[in-house]
Structure 1
């Protein structure tokens, strides 16, 4: 990197060495660090610089720099922010992506940092960070837009600002109103609730009334009237003007080279970009500046004013998006404008830039040990399906599926197509399905088409509940391999298990705990590799050859493969360098072969994209800093893990998109192959909403209660934010397959039981003489009252009635009963029930611990040593096994994880799980 470091502001020394967000405000033309407590609070009269440092799985850091310009900021402050951003990039080694953010027109990436939202405040540096005085809030009207990230814009406090299509928040002295336009989406209404909660907590100290006004419905008369009185009375709202989509009218992207402060149009080609020059990519509604690695810091700063002049001369909006990129660290969006973009030139780290940064900081007295470096994250296995389910395998023969004999399950031939169905019990005792289509390398076009047809038929038969996987030979994901323990991929012309005179060479690898993949190769010495283990079947011998660089796991794997491929035949162990003559003669003589493994591509962080297909054109939008809430029911999403693709299909996605979901995934892969180097035959998992497997949910902090309840979830959140009782759903216990068979008869029994019970209650709700006599004769059947509270008379009567009914019907106390019982009935009869008094009413809860050992927020009473907590312990304590890390002492936790508990729990759930697996705490 040719940039000079002498002009870099000292405020940027030592930054970017750990993940997180750093913010500076421009004060007197200098960047001043902002305290954490003020992050997310922006004044419209100021300019800010925001640095987001992200730790990558590869061990390095990724940097995004944003300079945010308030709508009332001065031109001088805005220019300072732009220049200082370039200096900050230089301090980071010249590898950050830089974004120009203008108030009310921020990028989705920038908004994703500050959840739930940004509500810019009036004023600037002179006003300071003064908290709004409680009870003195002037009426403010905001329009809230966004289905995932929220954009909050203050609009004039007037009826004319309202419309039927958007959601508005009106903040007054004592009440916050949310006005839901009749045509607004449920997602926008839900996001607006988050804004309401934020304003309530920030500006009202959590003390104010919340009122929801639904456009087009009558609601509470007093609340509605109170809202419209503030606007001078009710009057019909005007329709929102239709804004024409001018995307088709955007100019064709142009590439301009900066030559002596002037712009010259050049060919739109990656080959044109010169490392010693700066370029401008004008895309109409957004502008990119590209700086070669050999350009000076002054040249990069000069490009800023040149772009500003271009915007003015072309009469472009002042808020147009500007992104600045350094050679080697181009974004996917930038690359997408070029027909071809070779990926082998991508820089993973800037060693030269790192050296310059370290030298500068050393002069300033900063400890540079380990600067700009991170610890590589070992690629971990995703959670695998439980292996106690039912496995069925079919081979397609002439378009017809033929079931494979049990003895041949796990053997796949490279000229064939297979269908695999695995049925297992998932979380919450729910039956789940994994439906796979494996395609051999030499499978015919006809068989491939038949495989797709059969997959569609079987998926329909399973009512769309199955996770569908499309797998090409050689790209088998671990979720698929785990089903077989030892999967063997063989050439079609060989018939294993039959006597023949063919030479068989098979490479065996351990790809996971007790999971083996065996692949037949050409029987020549060039197929060998010192880092692997092989089986060689000659006319009379079976050799288990182990390379000198092979692992112990692979040495065990080759013996496992021998048991599967040649049952009953003892393999003769042979070490590399000690082979008998027959070994080499069977391979056509000894020749040179590889002595090192093929380098594996480093792990990459998952990325989430919303995808839609219109007229065969795929629209892809990245969702940054994603959570489960970003999986919207009317969308199709793709989670790109680079070596595997997960396509998530929302229940309310359009019928057309659901029918074309496989085409959407394939088109996405074509795009990612061109822009990000993903393989064309990467495995595809197709997942429908409500049927997410564990190996998908591990990428999110998953809450199963959010699944399939988008509308109900909104209603609950409204009740919660207003302080009203949350509407309770009738909880139905899931039935196991064995229990479901008797559901009908059990329902009939329950109906009869209810009728019998009613007959034993008097009009006052007390037991009849017959029922009371039964209870007196069988006191053991009556439940004992919890020690900590004496139940009310009504509850006691009901409990006794249940006991009497149980005796009359001869019902056994079976905790595992499949019959669903109402909560209030269970409260009176279950030995696990407790009754809690809340005011003048009573609520019933269960004291029975959950399946995972307790609530996730339980208080830890005792710490344990690491040796007792790890999964290999011979003396594990009785604790919540899903939260083993919580039982470590603070000292042990920081020693093992290298971070505090707070930092650990701020990480995404999937990263937490990876760290725990590394330490055997999962």
Structure 2
């Protein structure tokens, strides 16, 4: 799901929300959306951004980002297209693969989006295209490829023809399909699809089609007409024997530093261990270049790497056939992995796991029996790749949040989360009523009522759960993947309450001081929780993000783990992709850091231990003389709701009701 900030291009507000293609073009240094009716029309003087989103039944969405550069596109537009590709990747959670597509040398994946073919149009894209009048221009195209067709315009001359390929001559009244004698049946069939495409799209279906066989030049009026357009028949020369290619240059791996300088790391023989998670690398395979970006690299580092690679390709005078592919750590393609020896098929052991095995071996050697305690099972109990809708509760009104905002909640508001996921033979639905810690009673009551009404409208048997801020189950975070909880609220009930009590509105403002605690278990389950911007909010067991008008700090607690540091970098990008944070480790803070927090003060420095959770107990409810009590037996739904409502009014914890 997109993670769009105000600083990010507004064109990405709904990017990736639905499966299929989305296309933008650079026009006057701005991204302009290309309508679906114009998909497949690429102008040679423009640069485009193409997103393909695939939503499998099981697993997270797959995103491929391509930036297409026309042969006559301006350098400034080409650079902007590459930067926008990175920006879009960040908006999608840095989980896409990016490709650089050059006109005439497009990858098969890219061409497969535009069946049967892609034919570049001369000129520059404009969002207000007008009709072009004048004499019809004759075009000669060559078609290559059995699976996807590479269509390329060649000079309208006899010398452009050969015996190996299939050609299409496009005139005002007739389309000619010329098949070289050495072309394959598959190429001829694909070229015929292209002919039909041109007929329908350029001629409105009103033109003749003629087929010309290589070597047959008598007895057919179409053949005579075809050759007359070239000034009369003349034999096509045979292809010269191919020149023996020189030995392929060696493979090279470069590390790209923060200044954009390429530093050679190795030649020909590479291992997975050479790729560090906080760096960007370039693997130079001559005709193809891979750019690998570690998970802990920031968006600014990725932009620097992208510019460095673009400059490298230009300055080295590389062929236009050179393909660029940008890969994030964990999303490496099979081809990329094949260049590294012994690339692991499974996740590598962590250092603590290796140490654990060594300690166990020592005890076993000394004769002690060693048994490993089972680790806590953090795997979600349901499929977490379904679809999510989130509504903000405002009394009797519900506001559906946009895709870019559904993972950003406020403590002063209540929300309803509808999650639909594939079950056993049918889709299942789960409803959460998320109650903010500062929300007002009016919104809390309305949230429960709205959730019940929505659940009743579902034909299947949905599951409902009421959860409170700070006490969310692990499954809730696994469903949302990433969550930011801001202070304050937006509902009219919360606003009125603040005004009536004469309280200071502390609703999050990106221009004011804010402190966020980072937590979570992995990149698919991470949270940034806004806390009071004072020193006592710090804790040595966590990492924090301190936002100030003039600077951004990331504070690393002395008891935090490498996993926390990884989440810290990702959440900085989630909050604002343009932030350039100053990393501060506990004990080495500059004076200005404490000044922003209102002065240095004592805070918890011991290892935080998870609180004890009582084992669940099953009770039945009985109402006796208006006074509820829990006994062993059965309970009516109406009696339970009355009992539950009393507990809510008293501020006590809710009891979930499961009915058979």
Q: Which residue of 1 aligns with 2:323?
A: 321
Whether 2:359 is the aligned partner of 1:344: answer no
Counterpart contact for 1:61–1:374, Cα < 8 Å: no
Structure 1: 5+ residue runs without aligned partners? 381-922
Q: How high is the TM-score relative to the length of structure 2?
A: 0.52
Q: Which residue of 2 aligns with 1:253?
A: 251
Whether 2:294 is the aligned partner of 1:296: answer no
Separation in 2 of the partners of 1:221 and 1:256? Answer: 60
Q: How does 1:661-680 map to 2 (within 5 A)?
A: none
Separation in 2 of the partners of 1:253 and 1:46? Answer: 32
Label 1:377 to 1:220 Cα distance change in 2 as closer, same or farther (>3 A). Answer: farther
Please list the CA deviations of residues 209-242 of structure 1 after superposition, one character each: whole Å capped at 9, or x if unmatched: 1010000124642111100110001111122344
Q: CA deviation at 1:249?
A: 2.4
Counterpart contact for 2:255–2:265, Cα < 8 Å: yes
Please list the CA deviations of residues 533-565 of structure 1 after superposition, one character each: whole Å capped at 9, or x if unmatched: xxxxxxxxxxxxxxxxxxxxxxxxxxxxxxxxx
Local SS of the residue matching 1:179: strand
Q: CA deviation at 1:121?
A: 0.7
Q: Which residue of 2 aligns with 1:75?
A: 75
Q: Which residue of 2 aligns with 1:851?
A: none
Whether 2:167 is the aligned partner of 1:162: answer no
Label 1:272 to 1:245 Cα distance change in 2 as closer, same or farther (>3 A). Answer: same
Separation in 1 of the partners of 2:424 and 2:63? Answer: 21
Separation in 2 of the partners of 1:245 and 1:155? Answer: 25
1:308 to 307, 310, 333: 310
Counterpart contact for 1:213–1:219, Cα < 8 Å: no
Q: CA deviation at 1:377?
A: 8.1
Q: CA deviation at 1:294?
A: 1.0
Q: What is the count of residue pairs matched by the alignment?
A: 370
Separation in 2 of the partners of 1:275 and 1:371? Answer: 34
Counterpart contact for 2:17–2:403, Cα < 8 Å: no
Separation in 2 of the partners of 1:103 and 1:281? Answer: 23
Separation in 2 of the partners of 1:307 and 1:374? Answer: 42
Q: Which residue of 1 aligns with 2:470?
A: none
Q: CA deviation at 1:370?
A: 11
Label 1:370 to 1:90 Cα distance change in 2 as closer, same or farther (>3 A). Answer: farther
Q: How does 1:192-203 map to 2 (within 5 A)?
A: 192-203=191-202
Q: CA deviation at 1:367?
A: 4.7
Q: Which residue of 2 aligns with 1:17?
A: 17
Label 1:252 to 1:221 Cα distance change in 2 as closer, same or farther (>3 A). Answer: same
Separation in 2 of the partners of 1:259 and 1:245? Answer: 38
Q: How does 1:349-428 map to 2 (within 5 A)?
A: 366-367=405-406, 375-376=421-422
Counterpart contact for 1:276–1:293, Cα < 8 Å: yes
Higher helix share: 1
Q: CA deviation at 1:182?
A: 1.0
Label 1:62 to 1:174 Cα distance change in 2 as closer, same or farther (>3 A). Answer: same
Counterpart contact for 1:137–1:171, Cα < 8 Å: no
Whether 2:281 is the aligned partner of 1:283: answer no
Q: How does 1:553-568 map to 2 (within 5 A)?
A: none
Q: How does 1:717-736 map to 2 (within 5 A)?
A: none
Q: Which residue of 2 aligns with 1:118?
A: 118
Q: CA deviation at 1:364?
A: 9.3
Separation in 2 of the partners of 1:373 and 1:215? Answer: 61
Q: CA deviation at 1:314?
A: 2.8
Q: Which residue of 1 aligns with 2:357?
A: none
Local SS of the residue matching 1:125: coil
Separation in 2 of the partners of 1:112 and 1:256? Answer: 32
Q: Which residue of 2 aligns with 1:146?
A: 145
Q: How does 1:502-901 map to 2 (within 5 A)?
A: none
Local SS of the residue matching 1:53: strand
Whether 2:191 is the aligned partner of 1:189: answer no
Q: CA deviation at 1:300?
A: 0.4
Counterpart contact for 1:61–1:373, Cα < 8 Å: no
Counterpart contact for 1:57–1:377, Cα < 8 Å: no
Label 1:363 to 1:317 Cα distance change in 2 as closer, same or farther (>3 A). Answer: same
Q: Which residue of 1 aligns with 2:208?
A: 209
Please list the CA deviations of residues 240-259 of structure 1 after superposition, one character each: whole Å capped at 9, or x if unmatched: 3444464x722232211112
Separation in 1 of the partners of 2:344 and 2:159? Answer: 52
Separation in 2 of the partners of 1:378 and 1:254? Answer: 49
Q: CA deviation at 1:45?
A: 0.8
Q: CA deviation at 1:179?
A: 0.6
Q: Which residue of 1 aligns with 2:36?
A: 36
CA RMSD after TM alignment? 3.4
Whether 2:232 is the aligned partner of 1:230: answer no
Separation in 2 of the partners of 1:373 and 1:161? Answer: 58
Label 1:196 to 1:109 Cα distance change in 2 as closer, same or farther (>3 A). Answer: same
Q: Which residue of 2 aligns with 1:434?
A: none
Separation in 1 of the partners of 2:162 and 2:188? Answer: 14
Separation in 2 of the partners of 1:162 and 1:9? Answer: 46
Q: How high is the TM-score relative to the length of structure 1?
A: 0.38
Please list the CA deviations of residues 63-102 of structure 1 after superposition, one character each: whole Å capped at 9, or x if unmatched: 0000001111101111110000000000000010000001
Label 1:120 to 1:9 Cα distance change in 2 as closer, same or farther (>3 A). Answer: same
Q: CA deviation at 1:262?
A: 1.6
Q: CA deviation at 1:379?
A: 9.4
Q: Which residue of 1 aligns with 2:555?
A: none
Local SS of the residue matching 1:113: coil
Counterpart contact for 2:166–2:178, Cα < 8 Å: yes
Please list the CA deviations of residues 622-652 of structure 1 after superposition, one character each: whole Å capped at 9, or x if unmatched: xxxxxxxxxxxxxxxxxxxxxxxxxxxxxxx
Separation in 2 of the partners of 1:93 and 1:7? Answer: 16
Counterpart contact for 1:12–1:88, Cα < 8 Å: yes
Higher strand share: 2
Separation in 2 of the partners of 1:379 and 1:245? Answer: 58
1:333 to 328, 332, 335: 335
Q: CA deviation at 1:159?
A: 0.5
Local SS of the residue matching 2:25: strand
Separation in 2 of the partners of 1:378 and 1:129? Answer: 50
Q: Which residue of 1 aligns with 2:136?
A: 137
Separation in 2 of the partners of 1:77 and 1:146? Answer: 30
Structure 2: 5+ residue runs without aligned partners? 349-378, 392-399, 408-414, 427-660
Local SS of the residue matching 1:123: coil
Separation in 1 of the partners of 2:283 and 2:419? Answer: 32
Label 1:258 to 1:222 Cα distance change in 2 as closer, same or farther (>3 A). Answer: same
Give the structure with higher Rg (CA).
Answer: 1
Q: CA deviation at 1:345?
A: 3.5
Please list the CA deviations of residues 832-890 of structure 1 after superposition, one character each: whole Å capped at 9, or x if unmatched: xxxxxxxxxxxxxxxxxxxxxxxxxxxxxxxxxxxxxxxxxxxxxxxxxxxxxxxxxxx
Q: Which residue of 2 aligns with 1:107?
A: 107
Separation in 2 of the partners of 1:377 and 1:255? Answer: 45
Counterpart contact for 2:14–2:404, Cα < 8 Å: no
Separation in 1 of the partners of 2:43 and 2:18? Answer: 27
Local SS of the residue matching 2:263: strand
